Amino acid sequence: MKQGLKIAIGADHAGFDYKQAIIEALHTQEVKDFGTYSSDSVDYPDFAHPVALAVESGECDFGILVCGSGNGVAITANKHQGIRAAICWNEELADRARSHNNANILCIPARHISIGEAKKIVEIFFTTEFEGGRHANRVNKIAC
């Protein structure tokens, strides 16, 4: 994994334990934790928007969002221009999200994968480079 990345992270109650484990695994990176800070029930947009804003503004290089399915946080984050949030539930999807789609926010479905698999997905996401070329042409057509 590249050193010196600034990574924004956020989760709802379903993703709290995963968020904590991922932060621990990212100990060599600068991580900005946008919450939640317990497993008490909360609303995922309250955490997805601040993570997306941190990436969108350039304050952070990438983001990670965790909720039960990954869908809520991905939908929310993708409302922001310049955000390409991808739900990844296996290593191959994490690779393609980065190499083909230049995703800048990783969305993890906590209720559908193990914490161990989530850590592997994070590792793949942050070690895979965007291929550019024909993929850049497609990514450049995403923004409204």
Residue 64, domain CATH: 3.40.1400.10
CA 129 to chain centre: 15
132 three-class SS: coil
CA dist 123 → 48, 49, 59 (Å): 21, 23, 21
Is residue 144 domain-resident? no
Structural domain total, the chain: 1
Contact 46, 40 (CB under 8 A): no
| pLDDT, position 47 | 98
| Category of 84 on φ-ψ map: left (φ > 0), alpha (ψ -120 to 50) or beta | beta
Is residue 123 domain-resident? yes
Residue 1 reports pLDDT greater than 80: no
| pLDDT, position 3 | 80
CA 45 to chain centre: 14
| pLDDT, position 128 | 96
Contact 42, 18 (CB under 8 A): no
Contact 73, 66 (CB under 8 A): yes
Both tokens of 59, joined, read 């304050």
Task: Provide the residue type at 135 as one letter.
Answer: H
Is residue 76 domain-resident? yes
Note the residue count of the chain: 144
Residue 129's domain comprises 6-139
| pLDDT, position 51 | 98
| Residue carrying structure tokens 């989530």 | 118
Is residue 1 domain-resident? no
| Tens digits of residue pLDDT in 66-105 | 999 999 999 999 999 999 999 999 999 999 999 999 999 9
Is residue 122 domain-resident? yes
| pLDDT, position 80 | 97
| Tens digits of residue pLDDT in 15-57 | 999 999 999 999 989 999 999 999 999 999 999 999 999 999 9
With CA atoms as reference, report the closest residue to 83 among 100, 112, 106: 106
Contact 58, 8 (CB under 8 A): no
| Residues noted as catalytic | 67, 100
Is residue 48 domain-resident? yes
